[in-house]
C-alpha cells in the first residue's frame, strides 16, 4: 500500500469498525433479570474508540502528506455520520430502556441517557448542514467544517464511549446514581454543542442568500 492510500484506507476501516460496533450492540439488552454478557459493552466501546481514532488520523495524514482526494472528501464525512448517528440511534433504542424505571413512572427511563428526541435534533442538524453545504458548493462557495463543528465531533467521539462505560457500571445500582447525573450532563452538553455547531452554517447561508435575493428582485416599471 502506498502512502497516499493510507488516509482512504483508514476511512474505509472506520466504516468496517462502525458496522462491527452495530453488530456487537445487537447483543446488548439492559435487564436486571437477564443482563447481557460483560464483553458486549467492552467490545462495543473498544470498536467505537478505534473508529474515532481513524477519524482523527485520516484527515490529519491526508493534509500532512498533501494527498487529499475526492474520495476522502465524500466518504470521510459519510463515515463520520454513519458512526455517530448510528451510535446515537442505538443508544436511544429499546436495548437501553430501563424497564424498572418505566414501571415506576420515572422521567429518566433510558440507562444511556439518550432519548429519541435527541436523535431527531442531531439528525436534523446533520441534514441541514449537509443541505447547506451542497447548495453552497454548487455555487462555488467554500463551506468547509467550522471549528465548532470539529469540536462537536470530538465531543461526540468522547461521550459515546463514556456513556457505554457508565451503562456497563450500571448507574441504577445502589450507590451509583451519581453516575446517572454525570451521564446526563455529558449527553445534554453534547446535544447543545451539536445544535450550536450548526448555527455558523445557517448564518453563512443567510449571508449568501441575501445578495442572491437582492439580485433577483424585480425593479419597478
Q: Which residue has the higher pLDDT, 38 or 97?
A: 97
Full set of structural domains in the chain with CATH? 3-215 (1.20.120.1760)
124-155: b (≥16 Cβ within 10 Å) or e: ebbeebeebbeebeeeeeebebbeebeebbeb
Query: Whole-prediction pTM value?
Result: 0.88
pLDDT digits (tens, 9 = 90+) for 99-130: 999 999 999 999 999 999 999 999 999 999 88
Lowest mean pLDDT among 38-47, 66-75, 107-116: 66-75
pLDDT digits (tens, 9 = 90+) for 142-171: 666 667 888 898 999 999 999 999 999 999
pLDDT digits (tens, 9 = 90+) for 171-220: 998 899 999 999 999 999 999 999 999 998 888 778 777 665 555 555 44
pLDDT digits (tens, 9 = 90+) for 12-33: 999 999 999 999 999 999 976 5
**CA dist., res. 213 & res. 221, Å (int):** 19
Q: Where does the pLDDT of residue 7 fall: very low under 50, low under 70, confident under 90, or very high at 90 and above?
A: very high
Amino acid at each position: 500500500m502506498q502512502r497516499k492510500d493510507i488516509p482512504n484506507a483508514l476511512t474505509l476501516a472506520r466504516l468496517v469498525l462502525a458496522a462491527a460496533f452495530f453488530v456487537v450492540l445487537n447483543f446488548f439488552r439492559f435487564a436486571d433479570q437477564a443482563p447481557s454478557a460483560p464483553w458486549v459493552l467492552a467490545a462495543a466501546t473498544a470498536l467505537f474508540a478505534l473508529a474515532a481514532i481513524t477519524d482523527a488520523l485520516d484527515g490529519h495524514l491526508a493534509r500532512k502528506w498533501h494527498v487529499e482526494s475526492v474520495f476522502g472528501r465524500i466518504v470521510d464525512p459519510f463515515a463520520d455520520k454513519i458512526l455517530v448517528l448510528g451510535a446515537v440511534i442505538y443508544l436511544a433504542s429499546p436495548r437501553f430502556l430501563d424497564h424498572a424505571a418505566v414501571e415506576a413512572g420515572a422521567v429518566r427511563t433510558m440507562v444511556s441517557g439518550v432519548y429519541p428526541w435527541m436523535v431527531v435534533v442531531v439528525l436534523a442538524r446533520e441534514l441541514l448542514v449537509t443541505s447547506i453545504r451542497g447548495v453552497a458548493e454548487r455555487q462555488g462557495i467554500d463551506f468547509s467544517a467550522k471549528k465548532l463543528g470539529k469540536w462537536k465531533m470530538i465531543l461526540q467521539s468522547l461521550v459515546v464511549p463514556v456513556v457505554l462505560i457508565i451503562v456497563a457500571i450500571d448507574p441504577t445500582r445502589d450507590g451509583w446514581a451519581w453516575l446517572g447525573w454525570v451521564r446526563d450532563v455529558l449527553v445534554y452538553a453534547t446535544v447543545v454543542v451539536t445544535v450550536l455547531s450548526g448555527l455558523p452554517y445557517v448564518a453563512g447561508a443567510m449571508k449568501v442568500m441575501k445578495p442572491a435575493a437582492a439580485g433577483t428582485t424585480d425593479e419597478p416599471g
